[in-house]
Amino acid sequence: MTNLFLLFFRRFQRRVELPPEESARFAPLLPSSSINTTPHVIFLVLRRMRMPLLILISAYAISMGGLVLMPGIDEQGNPWRIDFFHAFYFVSFMGSTIGFGEIPYAFSPAQRLWTIVSIYLTVIGWLYAIGNILTLLQDPAFKRAVTEQRFARGVRRLKVPFYLVCGYGETGSLLVKALTRRLVQSVVIDSDAERINALALEDLNFDIPNLCADVREVRHLMEGGLQHPKCIGVVALTNEDQINVKIAITCKLLNPTLKVICRAEMADTAANLASFGTDHIIDPFNTFADHLTMTLRSPSVHLLYEWLTSIANAPLPKPIHPPRGTWIICHYGRFGKAVHRYMTFEGMPTTIIEPNPDQAPEGAIVGVGTQAVTLRAAGIDKAVGIVAGTNMDANNLSIILTARQLNPALYLVARQNRRGNDALFKTAHVDLVMQRSRIIVWRILPLLTVPLLSQFLQLARHRSERWAEELLEKIRVLCEGVTPQTWSISIDPEQAPAVHAAIEQGREIRLWHLLREPQERSQPLPCLPLLVLRQDQEILLPDDDLPLVANDCILLCAPHDCAERMTWAAFNTNALDYVMTGEERPDGYLWRWLASWQQAPACPIPDPPSKRGKADRLKS
């Protein structure tokens, strides 16, 4: 009998831990979503509490049943038995060791005997139950389920558009911080618990839902809001290219409309990503090499990049002027190759120093760049600049310091691998530091915050140095020496309802209408339109007189407090009327009706006000 009970007990415990067979059997009948989600915390608790509750109920039942059966004697000496009501009362306070004494009469020896049994039964039952609850709360699997569920709930409740950032390493943390400063919501998933803890400690003024989990797991991406209606895009920034590819392909399959931005450091990964339509693929090495050569070719265009992408109301970034001439590239790795390719394209002669003779290209100096001998052999005295591109920060700093001793006039470019070494690179007075995480964030930010800006910058690259210089001067005067705010507005019912409605009514709205002070129309707003995007047509630096068409996208730049004043006219019909006609129009149906009686003949607006009133009514 004991053996049978033990056998049953073991079986029962197994049932508690393993998923029940029924669930597998009924699985095909359930909607697929319920299979792929996390186990609900409540089910975990219930399943875990089954055994303790069974034991408690049994203990109570045995104690109460026995107590009722035990013969007792009341005060008058009559035989008496405790009833269920009092038995339950007695066992309740006895089991929880509160102990009010023997009620309603003093117990007989038989009742006391049974009470001894009951005490051990119920007290042990309670201890077991409480111990089980505490173990459950400490259980890592349970804790994980709770945090996962909290994360999923936090994401589900997001009401603002957000980006899902996968990977919170150096790059991810920089990006999230930059997004937060631009008031863009993000959601973070990373597999490293330490990084997630770092996020919790970061003072971001924003509640950023975060989860420590494997991003390769589709379920976690779903919890991160992959199919959330407010999710605008996914940024895959993990250290491993393969994981980034997995994230990108998951996103493209599960939500094809999503914007997917991916970090890729290998050429074949980039090709792979491009093959299934990843929206933007960022290779930090190529990006940096591209910008380095841009500063050589057209420094003003590069400066335009810097000004427009940096945060508003900051000091204007200084221009960079690397010299033209022979450059020395130390280490022909991924970074060195990228710089070499772009430099060669730009027609700049280069000398390569590479320690590994197998990897060194033709004409390269074989050796370590940290040694003066090698640098001399590479012709350091005749070179104008040096690129220290090894994957060791100590080596890069050593190259820079040695090179400077040999040729103080040298322009120094160094690759910084770890963000923790910021102070070292700063004190070493390196002219240009290539830091992977910064480059990636710098490239991604405009894509995320003002997508139109990326398009504008692409167009600007093909413009002349003179064009860029003039534009820079305009911006400098406009913003009085600080960085401008860049934003876009599209003429649609959501972002510019007043303008959109007016255009739909056939009124002609020109660009300058939007660029007037909404309180005083004679004052122009200090606002510079950079680009108008109309279907497939791009109008670079549009004229103020340009008539607007519905669904135009306008990119503007202005001092940082100007955007709100401008959107006033775009949103408010009365403000727009005032800006267009100079008349403060009465609002409300009655006043509008009266005004239409009084001023109908003299109205300078082409369409009659009565019609406008009707349209307004329709709109509301």
Partner 1 sequence: MNLEKVFFSAFILLALTLNFGFVMGDIDNPDHHHPMELFAAISVSLIATIIKLGDRTHIGAVLLATSIVADVQLLAAALVWGMALHVLDTGNTASVIATVVSLSGGALLANIASVVLLMIETVTLRR
Binding site for partner 1 (CB under 8 A): 7-8, 11-12, 15, 20, 22-23, 25-26, 29-30, 43, 46-47, 49-50, 53-54, 57-58, 60-61, 64-65, 68, 83-86
Q: Do 550 and 527 contact (CB within 8 A), yes or no?
A: no
SS3 helix, strand, coil % of the chain, rounded to 5? Answer: 50, 15, 35
Question: Based on CB atoms, which residue is closest to partner 1, 22 or 203?
Answer: 22
Question: Based on CB atoms, which residue is closest to partner 1, 50 or 521?
Answer: 50
Question: Based on CB atoms, which residue is closest to partner 1, 59 or 184?
Answer: 59
Q: Is the peptide bond before 451 cis (omega within 30 degrees of 0)?
A: no
Question: Based on CB atoms, which residue is closest to partner 1, 16 or 253?
Answer: 16
What is the DSSP code string of 175-204? HHHHHHHTT-EEEEEES-HHHHHHHHHS--
Question: Based on CB atoms, which residue is closest to partner 1, 16 or 394?
Answer: 16
Residue 109 Cβ vs partner 1, minimum distance, rounded to whole Å: 22
Residue 24 Cβ vs partner 1, minimum distance, rounded to whole Å: 9
Residue 22 Cβ vs partner 1, minimum distance, rounded to whole Å: 5
Neighbour-count burial of 119, counting CB atoms closer than 10 A to its CB (0-12 exposed, 13-18 middle, 19+ buried): middle
Supply the Cα-derived Rg of the chain in whole angstroms: 36
Residue 28 Cβ vs partner 1, minimum distance, rounded to whole Å: 12
CA distance 262 to 257: 15
Question: Based on CB atoms, which residue is closest to partner 1, 29 or 602?
Answer: 29
Residue 216 Cβ vs partner 1, minimum distance, rounded to whole Å: 26
CA distance 326 to 348: 6
The Cα angle at residue 116 between residues 110 and 121, in degrees rounded to 5: 130
CA distance 530 to 538: 10
CA distance 172 to 165: 7
Question: Based on CB atoms, which residue is closest to partner 1, 53 or 409?
Answer: 53
Neighbour-count burial of 39, counting CB atoms closer than 10 A to its CB (0-12 exposed, 13-18 middle, 19+ buried): middle
Question: Based on CB atoms, which residue is closest to partner 1, 126 or 467?
Answer: 126
Q: Helix 109-138 crosses helix 140-156 at what angle (to 10 degrees)?
A: 60
Beta bridge partners of 434: 415
Residue 13 Cβ vs partner 1, minimum distance, rounded to whole Å: 10
Residue 11 Cβ vs partner 1, minimum distance, rounded to whole Å: 5
- What are the φ and ψ backbone dihedral angles of 399, each rounded to 5 degrees? -60, -45
Beta bridge partners of 162: 185, 231
Question: Based on CB atoms, which residue is closest to partner 1, 32 or 620?
Answer: 32
Distances from the Cα of 13 to the Cα of 18, 61, 142, 287, angstroms: 9, 22, 18, 58
